[in-house]
Amino acid sequence: MNSINGLPLAPFLVVAAGLFVIGLYGALARKNAIAVLMGVELMLNAVNLNLIAFWRYVAPNSSAGLAFAAFVFIVAAAEAAVGLALIISVYRNLRSVDPEKLDQMKM
Amino acid sequence: MTFFDPTKLNELLAVLPEIVLVIWALAILAFDLLSARGVSRRALGILTALGLMGALVACVPAALTAASYAATDPTKLVVLGGLVRFDLYAFAFRGIFIVGAALTALVSIDFRAARAGGEYYALLLLATVGMGLMAASNDLMLLYLATETASISLYLLAGFMRDTKLSAEAGIKYFVFGAVTSTIMLFGLSYVFGLSGATQYQVVADRLALSDSKLLLTFSLLLVAVGFLFKTSTVPFQWWAPDVYQGAPTPVAGFISTASKAAGFAIMLRFLPYVFSPVPSHYVEGSGVWIAMMVPLAILTMLVGNLMAINQSNVKRMLAYSSIAQAGYMLIGVAGFAASFGQNTAETTNALAAVIFYLITYTLTNIGAFAVTGIVAQRVGGDDFKDFAGLSRRSPYLALAMVAVMLSLLGAPPLVGFAGKFLLFRSALSVAAQFNNPVFIWLVVLAVAMVLVSVFYYLRVVLAMYTQRAANDAQPLKVSAPVAWAVGLCAFGVIATLLAIYPLWELARAAALSLML
């Protein structure tokens, strides 16, 4: 169970964790709202890698892992659509997509 | 495995309110699209509120069935392939969401944002669907899906006034913080799935109890908790709230600050004890972490919310910090629930029931506060404290309603907010007595001190309305009928719920008990 075709589970998890951290860094540090969105997508891909790897190694007999991953795809698509719509609406108002320029509201 | 089993059709009762709401949302869209131009916004808003009332009525037979299942065979409560738990807990929260959404729909009629059309009301209904499923979800998959259904609708509603800079900014900020935190939660859920190989809470808990990888369990618990803390706007994930509430259309801000926060508590209070069970026979490594973190979270959230609220010049930002502070008070109840879970059912039930009761009263009150603020912003042209000047002369009833909700938020004795705080603090004190734990006494002392601090900022609104004069003092302020009805209902609820405290408290207790069957 711990190794399929000579390949253990751990490398998948390490890659997924790396992908997640890169995505999180991108989402928190980038100056462009579209890049932030790309960071979130990267994090969602890391989750899917996790889910599929866990499904194959831990629970290959139930379809739960596959279904979970499919739902994550759908949510990712919906989230990207809504995110881009909001970015366009911000761009029309402010002529910029830099999150740091979004400071109309002050204490 | 079959896809359709007629004998299980009655399980659909568990999601009957959601079925009604989805159909109604589609009907609203179709009605808006098909009727010749000029379908009045007022009609759409009232139709939405009627649909929500229909869903509330649908809750009654479903909740009664749930109660009868609970009395006969609690194992029958997990339905629809384990996705949903059919219990009173979920229905009590649905009541909060549906009433909140109905008031929001009525209040929205007068607002510029809602003039865009049926999609505004359809999104409001779909957000309510998502929240209802959040409260009922008994499965990691549905937990994430329902949370996103609610969140994505709310991102759009927050940014709904596309031509306004503030609203666009509120939408994108809510979206960015929401998307990042919900993905962090999802990453945690993927580890929970990996450690257990299952998604249904009960199965997950059984398998996690056998696992001994304490580090990974604690890590995944913390990741999942990020999502809960964001939804409930708990420190350290509260900083989005003031910006989003200030920029979002005011009725939407009222809805996010109440129903969405209640939904956050609903998923948190089901997921944590079910999956990371601290019960000795079923002990999951790492469950001590969530129990230990509730007390510091309550302290920090109360302090940040109350101290930041003092210095605001904008009423919506003040209400945002006040709603963070209110979450802090509720976390006292959550901490009491956590400390006693699995050891003393009476204490656990009381603490959880106090949180649910508090959420009911808080929802009524806060939506009223945002509604009055929205009317003032719409008619006077701003939502700073100075814009409330002379309101007592321009619209005495509106001013009176605002006084009622402010005093109730404060927790002044004759109003329902007092009952909520009293029950919360009482449950904390009895946990302190039962477990000989002085921490809870100090929590209550701090909370009372913070209530005294909150006198400053809540009464500032009242002072502005009654003692300051505006240039156009004599000019009456127009309020359209449905909005007046909604505000009136909130104010009436704040005062009259006192007469219904006993049945409401019994309902909250029954809901709390059903979670622990």
Q: What is the pLDDT along chain B (517 residues), one digit of tens a residue?
A: 456 677 778 888 999 999 999 999 999 999 888 876 666 778 888 999 999 999 999 999 999 999 988 888 888 888 888 899 999 999 999 999 999 999 999 999 888 765 667 889 999 999 999 999 999 999 999 999 999 999 999 999 999 988 788 888 899 999 999 999 999 999 999 999 999 999 999 999 999 999 888 999 999 999 999 999 999 999 999 989 999 999 999 999 999 999 999 999 999 999 999 999 998 888 898 889 999 999 999 999 999 999 999 999 999 999 999 999 999 999 999 999 999 998 888 999 999 999 999 999 999 999 999 999 999 988 888 889 999 988 888 889 999 999 999 999 999 888 899 999 999 999 999 999 999 989 999 999 999 999 999 999 999 999 999 998 877 777 888 888 888 899 999 988 888 877 888 999 999 999 999 998 8
CA B175 to chain centre: 18
Return the structure tokens found at B218: 């604690």
Interface pTM, i.e. ipTM: 0.95
Q: Which residues pair with B85 in a beta bridge?
A: B78
What sign results for the dihedral spanned by CA atoms B101, B59, B53, B35?
Answer: positive
Q: What is the 3-state secondary structure (H, E, C) of B284-301?
A: CCCHHHHHHHHHHHHHHH
Domain range list for chain B: 12-515
Length of chain A: 107
Query: CB distance B168–A85 less than 8 Å?
Result: no
Could you give the CA distance from residue A90 to residue A95 in angstroms, rounded to a whole number?
A: 7
- Residue A106 pLDDT exceeds 60: no
Write down the pLDDT at residue B37. Answer: 63
Q: Which residues pair with B139 in a beta bridge?
A: B200
Query: CB distance A89–B171 less than 8 Å?
Result: yes
End-to-end Cα distance, chain A? 56
- B36: helix, strand or coil: coil
Q: What's the number of CA atoms in the CB half-sphere (13 Å) around residue A45? A: 13
User: What stretches of B17-137 adopt beta strand conformation (E)?
Assistant: 78-79, 84-85
- B13: helix, strand or coil: helix
Check: CB of residue B143 under 8 Å from CB of residue B189.
yes
b/e string for B25-49 if b means 16 or more Cβ within 10 A? beebbeebeeeeeebebbebbbbbb
Check: CB of residue B409 under 8 Å from CB of residue B491.
no
Query: CB distance B246–A105 less than 8 Å?
Result: yes
Check: CB of residue B207 under 8 Å from CB of residue B219.
no
B371: number of Cβ within 10 Å: 32
Query: CB distance B148–A79 less than 8 Å?
Result: yes
List the single best residue of A74, A75, A98 to mutate versus B (max B Cβ within 10 A): A75
Query: CB distance B164–A93 less than 8 Å?
Result: yes
End-to-end Cα distance, chain B? 28
Q: What letter does residue B448 receive in the DSSP assignment? A: H
Check: CB of residue B311 under 8 Å from CB of residue B454.
no
Domain range list for chain A: 8-100
Length of chain B: 517
Return the structure tokens found at B80: 């629809």
Q: Which residues in B lie closer than 8 A to residue A33 (C-beta atoms)? A: 172, 176
Residue B61's φ and ψ, nearest 5 degrees, are: -60, -35
Please check whether the domain covering A8-100 is classified as CATH 1.10.287.3510. Answer: yes
Q: Nearest CA to CA, how far is B186 from chain A (Å)?
A: 7
Residue with tokens 């005294």: B452
Residue A105's φ and ψ, nearest 5 degrees, are: -100, 125
Nearest to A105 among B162, B184, B243 (CB): B243
CA B192 to chain centre: 26
- Neighbour-count burial of A2, counting CB atoms closer than 10 A to its CB (0-12 exposed, 13-18 middle, 19+ buried): exposed
Which positions in chain B have a beta carbon within 8 angstroms of at least one beta carbon in chain A? 140-141, 144-145, 148, 152, 155-156, 159, 162-166, 168-169, 171-173, 175-176, 179-180, 183-184, 186-187, 190-191, 193-194, 197-199, 242-243, 246-247, 311-312, 317
Check: CB of residue B386 under 8 Å from CB of residue B350.
no
Check: CB of residue B110 under 8 Å from CB of residue B239.
no
Write down the pLDDT at residue A107. Answer: 39
Query: CB distance A82–B155 less than 8 Å?
Result: yes
Query: CB distance A50–B187 less than 8 Å?
Result: yes
Query: CB distance B172–A47 less than 8 Å?
Result: no
Q: Which residues in B lie closer than 8 A to residue A78 (C-beta atoms)? A: 148, 152
Nearest CA in chain A to B152: A79
Query: CB distance B172–A71 less than 8 Å?
Result: no
Give the residue from B90, B218, B197, B202 showing the smallest Cα distance to B139.
Answer: B202
Q: Which residues in B lie closer than 8 A to residue A39 (C-beta atoms)? A: 180
Residue A105 confidence class, pLDDT cut points 50, 70, 90:
low
Query: CB distance A28–B156 less than 8 Å?
Result: no
Residue with tokens 């499919």: A70
- Neighbour-count burial of A56, counting CB atoms closer than 10 A to its CB (0-12 exposed, 13-18 middle, 19+ buried): middle
Q: Nearest CA to CA, how far is A43 from chain B (Å)?
A: 7
Query: What is the tally of helices (H) and strands (E) in chain B?
Result: 20, 2
Could you give the CA distance from residue B289 to residue B335 in angstroms, rounded to a whole number?
A: 12
Query: CB distance B162–A99 less than 8 Å?
Result: no
Query: CB distance A40–B183 less than 8 Å?
Result: yes
CA B41 to chain centre: 26
Q: Nearest CA to CA, how far is A1 from chain B (Å)?
A: 13
Residue B162's φ and ψ, nearest 5 degrees, are: -60, -25
CA distances from A73 to A27, A44, B231 (A): 19, 8, 22
Check: CB of residue B24 under 8 Å from CB of residue B102.
no
Q: Which residues in B lie closer than 8 A to residue A93 (C-beta atoms)? A: 162-165, 168-169
Check: CB of residue B370 under 8 Å from CB of residue B319.
yes
Nearest CA in chain A to B190: A51
Query: CB distance B145–A71 less than 8 Å?
Result: yes
Return the structure tokens found at B125: 């209904």
